[in-house]
Amino acid sequence: MKICRIIITLSLIIISVILFTTLPTLAEQASAESADFTVNTIPEPSALALLLVAGFLLLRARRGKTLCIVLLALGVTMPALQSYAAAPMVTNVIAQQQALPATEVDIYYDLIDTDGDSQFVMANVSTNSGESYDIVATHFTGDIGPGIITGVYKHIIWDATADLPFLSSSTVRVKITVDDSMVLIPAGSFNMGNCMDPNEGWDVEVPVHSVYVSAFYMDKYEVTKSTWDDVYTWAVANGYSFDHAGSGKAADHPVQTINWYDCIKWCNARSEKEGKTPYYYTDATKTTVYKTGNIDIANDWVNWEANGYRLPTEAEWEKAARGGASGHRFPWSDADTITHSRANYNSDSYYSYDVSPTRGYHPDYNEGTWPYTSPVGSFAPNGYGLYDMAGNVWEWCWDWYGDSYYSTTPDSNPRGPAMGTSRVLRGGGWFHYAFSSRCADRDGSTPASGSVDIGFRCVYP
């Protein structure tokens, strides 16, 4: 039995060495960590599995020395385990096709997060051994999407036949990415337009009409300067050119002074950087990714079946802004008034629904030098968990702006007029009054224009 205990102790020490040498590195990586393996290839057992085996062996040991061995194991492994749990991450991804004739693929992974926050989990597929993840695969069920909580042996089922019919390949890989920066906007209909007194808004906000919007994910926050810079740097190094490098008051403030063309190309670059299929192309053949120039992308020069990032349509933006509630003026449903405690905007007593005790620019962010933006997420989110849908910066949408478009809007997934001179802006900003922060307010600007109070956020897919 002495030999048995020595073997057990050495096993625990070896496991601890593995933890010490690998886990700190993992903890230093980004929270959107990924791992990929060739389908039908099973990785080595995880460190957690080895610990479970060691624990089982301990229970088999004689009781006299068991406590000492357990204490030794805990003393050696706990620091490593604490390092392991320092940041959200995905580990131990296993993908394997079910037994023939089934064509579904079982995907397993471990999701680690110390603070217990739910995560947004995405899956991507490669058919070239991971050189690129540009396969449009969407038929996933199980532990995928928003609201996935910490745990091991999470399970996703992929209907490979639905996405890749007639495929026979041993180089298929699956990559799992965890990201808590996007939220699900569920499919459904909503009443679009000015649901309050028609006289308080513009004529272009009526008639109120029911619109069905398919489910999509939207960034919780407006794109920050730091996020913009990360993708922008990659994009420039990979053949993209922009009109503006983007400005920002600080890293955690929204990027601004970018035009519509900049946003479109940035969305494409973000997609390519993450191995996803870009939405926007230089022509209707959808063969050349839009990277340079300032062409007016026509509505049919978009791959609406892509799995990358894009700008929201005007209908998607308003549905998201309303947060699942109807019949309200602003993105919150407990009141139809606004104050500086709710949003970063320019307060004025002219508007009866602006009841802020402080007037003018927001006192917390008026530092004497424009722009007076605020850090994203400085105010409470709406019903969908989205921040700054009112105020801070205007947000570019995909659609061409049309004064009379509400009279002819399709009742399902409208994508704006076929042509125009301005692109839609929504949400108001720090420079503008409460009138512009209403969910129904519509504005537009030429796609080549940029301003210190215009930014954006992305949707997926």
Strands 454-455 vs 394-400: parallel, antiparallel or unpaired: parallel
pLDDT of residue 48: 46
Q: Which residues contact 52 (CB under 8 A, 6 or more apart)?
A: none
pLDDT for residue 124: 83
State residue 39's pLDDT score: 40
Place of tokens 């050349």: 288
Structure tokens at 174: 């699956």
| Cβ 423 vs Cβ 399: under 8 Å | yes
| Residue 76: per-residue pLDDT | 38
Length in residues, the chain: 461
Instruction: Residue 439: count other Cβ atoms within 10 Å of its Cβ.
Output: 29
pLDDT of amino acid 136: 63
Q: Nearest-CA neighbor of 438 among 313, 351, 364?
A: 351
Centre a 10 Å sphere on the Cβ of residue 252 and count the other Cβ atoms it contains: 17
CA 2, distance to chain mean position in Å, is 54
Whole-number pLDDT of residue 87 = 54
Residue 52, CA atoms < 13 Å, CB-side half-sphere? 6
How confident is the chain (461 residues) per 10-residue block, as mean pLDDT? Answer: 52 42 28 34 41 46 41 38 52 90 92 77 86 77 84 93 85 86 93 96 97 95 98 97 98 98 98 92 92 91 94 98 97 98 98 98 96 98 97 98 96 96 98 98 97 97 86
Q: Is 256 helix (H, G, I), strand (E, B) or coil?
A: strand
- CA-CA distance, 397 to 430, in Å (whole number)? 18
Q: pLDDT at position 83, please?
A: 36
